[in-house]
């Protein structure tokens, strides 16, 4: 079976619902999302946490939708356009503000569904998290083993549950190895091409209510990056795994092309505490 791998990355999308930080008016939300200092931080994390692993995928056959609003301030809108020119997998979707966030996400993803594929492997790529360089390869290859389970309901999730949590504050970046059940990063939702759903239709923290799933914990497959501008900042259900702290820098470079020293220096320069969220870092 041919599996299309399709990712959705939302970058400061201005719309209703879909987020935990809420605002009374669209003007308040625009001011929050488009604050120049916030946008500068978000772009830095996107460039230094998210993009390196995607650009280094061992299987380059995937599509990444970059979803934002048509009024995203410069220079960031131009930078996204430039990214689509140098990254063959990137597609820019400028979605006007929509009250229903799921409708907005579907509007961004639907034009990129390959209807001649047998299965679409949807994944959510937050703009400050990362997946390992072999994520696309493994998600496509592992489906072959999981196919009988998928055929029961024509829906299936595959959770790569071993990862690293990076926590940025004014003191620098801390690294914590974690097993997290159905974290947003490293979670694939396999659907038929005619499902008329996006990955966002299935909240990752309760995905078991929507479909059967498999957990593959062997490899370090994701980075969950906690920083001042997270929408929630909650780590998610799970527990630590034992690792060698002296290896974190090499592991991040090898598996994600992330340079820990660069993030650590940036966190100190930004000099921001943890976000004011009820479960930030928990």
Look at residue 221 and tell me if it is in a domain: yes
User: Where are the strands (E) in the chain, listed by range?
Assistant: 3-10, 63-68, 90-94, 119-124, 130-131, 156-159, 162-169, 172-180, 187-191, 213-215, 220-226, 238-240
Structural domain total, the chain: 1
Q: Which pLDDT score is estimated for 236?
A: 82
Report d(CA 267, CA 170) in Å as an integer: 6
CATH assignment at residue 146: 3.90.550
Range of the domain at 194: 3-270
Give the per-residue pLDDT at 273: 83
Residue 200 has pLDDT above 90, yes or no: yes
Q: Quick one: pLDDT at residue 20?
A: 54
Summarised one tens digit per residue, pLDDT across range 134-162 is 999 999 999 999 999 999 999 999 999 99
**In the predicted model, what is the mean pLDDT of residues 46-70?**
98
pLDDT beyond 60 at 17: no
**What pLDDT was estimated at residue 185?**
95
pLDDT for 280: 64
- Give CA–CA dist 121/62, Å, rounded: 9
Over residues 224-279, the pLDDT tens digits come to 999 988 877 678 889 999 999 999 999 999 999 999 999 999 999 998 887 776 66
Write down the pLDDT at residue 23.
58
Q: Is a pLDDT exceeding 60 seen at residue 281? A: yes
- Does residue 64 surpass a pLDDT of 90? yes
Residue 135 lies in a domain: yes
- Whether residue 239 is contained in a domain is answered as yes
275 part of a folded domain: no
Least confident of 16-25, 87-96, 100-109: 16-25
Within a domain: 276: no
Does residue 277 sit within a domain? no
């Amino acid at each position: 079976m041919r599996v299309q791998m399709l990712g959705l990355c939302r970058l400061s999308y201005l719309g209703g619902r879909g987020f935990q930080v809420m605002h009374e008016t669209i003007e308040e939300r625009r001011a929050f999302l488009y604050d120049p200092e916030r946008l500068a931080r978000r772009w830095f994390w996107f460039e230094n946490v998210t993009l390196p692993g995607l650009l280094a995928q061992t299987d380059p056959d995937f599509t990444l939708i970059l979803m934002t609003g048509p009024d995203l301030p410069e220079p960031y809108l131009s930078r996204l356009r430039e990214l689509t020119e140098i990254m063959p997998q990137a597609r820019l979707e400028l979605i006007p503000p929509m009250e229903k966030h799921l409708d907005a996400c579907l509007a961004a993803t639907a034009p990129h569904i390959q209807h001649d594929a047998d299965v679409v492997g949807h994944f959510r790529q937050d703009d400050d998290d990362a997946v390992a360089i072999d994520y696309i390869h493994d998600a496509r290859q592992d489906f072959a083993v999981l196919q009988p389970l998928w055929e029961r309901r024509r829906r299936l999730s595959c959770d790569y549950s071993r990862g690293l949590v990076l926590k940025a504050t004014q003191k620098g970046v801390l690294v914590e190895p974690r097993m997290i059940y159905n974290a947003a990063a490293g979670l694939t939702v396999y659907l038929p091409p005619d499902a008329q759903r996006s990955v966002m239709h299935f909240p990752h923290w309760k995905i078991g209510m929507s479909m059967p799933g498999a957990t593959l914990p062997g490899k370090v497959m994701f980075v969950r990056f906690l920083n001042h501008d997270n929408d929630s900042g909650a780590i998610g259900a799970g527990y630590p795994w034992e690792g060698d702290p002296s290896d974190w820098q090499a592991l991040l470079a090898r598996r994600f092309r992330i340079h820990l020293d660069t993030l650590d220096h940036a966190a100190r320069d930004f000099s921001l505490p943890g976000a004011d969220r009820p479960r930030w870092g928990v």
